[in-house]
Amino acid sequence: MSALFDVIMPVFLVIGFGYVMARQGLFNDSAVDGVMRFAQNFAVPLLLFRSIAQLDLTAAYDMGLMLSFYIGALSGFAFGFFGAWTVFKRPLTDSVAIGFACLFSNSLLLGLPITERAYGAEALAGNYAIISIHAPMLYGLGIAMMEWARSTGQGLSVAALARQIARATLSQPLVIGIACGFVLNLSQLEPPGFFWSAVDLMARSAIPAALFGLGGVLFRYRPEGDKATIAMICVASLILHPAITWVLGTQLFANDTAALRSSVLTAAMAPGVNAYMFAHLYGVAKRVNATAVLVATALSMITIWGWLHILP
């Protein structure tokens, strides 16, 4: 029970605070958009820049950690895509967006603060390793699948499709922050102390601002219809992905305790708002993905508690 109150509850109270303020009209849509734009376009990219720039790359990039997490993520995508397409008879483009919701864990806004509260800041190296390729890899996959689905029968060239995928992925602020962090890390340059002090000021605001803004974002999306499809997304995100990651990490790759904690907890997070943003970008499955983000985020309070009890 202590894990629920000491680790999970503070994170969700901040989200709930943003939700209640939005519901009371004290945190309107333009303010929500402004906070989320600040967090996602500036503060969080700087947090990732700092973390990647200071990360011990040789120690953090453990093959078992990465494979167990990403095999689980891709399995979630396949489960959601084929379930939506074959069982629920959704159009091909809808199925890609629903599969993306099953694929994209909220590794930043939930995974980082919950892992830190559970195991301390020193336990986050594995989280940052996962996050460093999370957005580029999974957005790349989602965009590639969606462009394939949209271009079916249109004869779009491979080169044109590749350019579109690269442009959409590399323009993401999170990807830019990660890339700059790698450049600084590999260059072995040492910026002056005042530089890091300024970066730290911005980085420390990233998670609280993003969690508060997330509460406002979630208020916009009312649970509506498509209950079976939404349930499928919740099962894929909260149970299937972390279960596969756990089995692979313990039985196949023999991950150490730190890697197992980072990979399974990150996998156990609900779909992020990016799942809705991806659906909104292409104008498909918006209601399903928005509602799934809201419902899965609420349910994850219980499922994360369960995974914390299972983890060493």
pLDDT at 259: 94
pLDDT at 79 over 80: yes
Taking the C-alpha atoms of residue 281 and residue 286, their distance in angstroms, rounded to an integer, is 9
Band of the pLDDT at 4, cuts 50, 70, 90? low
User: Side chain identity at 254, as an amino acid letter?
Assistant: A
Average confidence score pLDDT of the chain: 87
Provide the residue count of the chain.
312
Band of the pLDDT at 55, cuts 50, 70, 90? confident
Taking the C-alpha atoms of residue 29 and residue 33, their distance in angstroms, rounded to an integer, is 6
CA angle at 162 for the pair 126 and 107, rounded to the nearest 5°: 20
For residue 67, what are the domain limits?
2-310
pLDDT over 90, % of the chain: 45
Nearest of 180, 151, 19, 172 to residue 108 by alpha carbon: 172
Give the other-Cβ count within 10 Å of 309's Cβ.
10
C-alpha count within 13 angstroms, C-beta hemisphere, residue 38: 18
Band of the pLDDT at 83, cuts 50, 70, 90? very high
Place of tokens 């629903």: 98
pLDDT at 103 over 90: yes
Q: Give residue-wise pLDDT tens across range 172-193.
A: 787 888 889 989 989 988 899 9
Nearest of 298, 283, 100, 111 to residue 215 by alpha carbon: 298
For the segment 100-114, the average pLDDT, to the nearest whole number, is 90
- What is the domain-level CATH number for residue 31? 1.20.1530.20
pLDDT at 249 over 90: yes
Band of the pLDDT at 154, cuts 50, 70, 90? low
Distances (CA, A) of 309 to 9, 245, 280, 295, 303: 15, 16, 36, 22, 10
Helix (H, G, I), strand (E, B), or coil: what is residue 105? Answer: strand
Structural domains in the chain (count): 1
pLDDT at 169 over 80: no
What is the pTM assigned to this prediction? Answer: 0.82
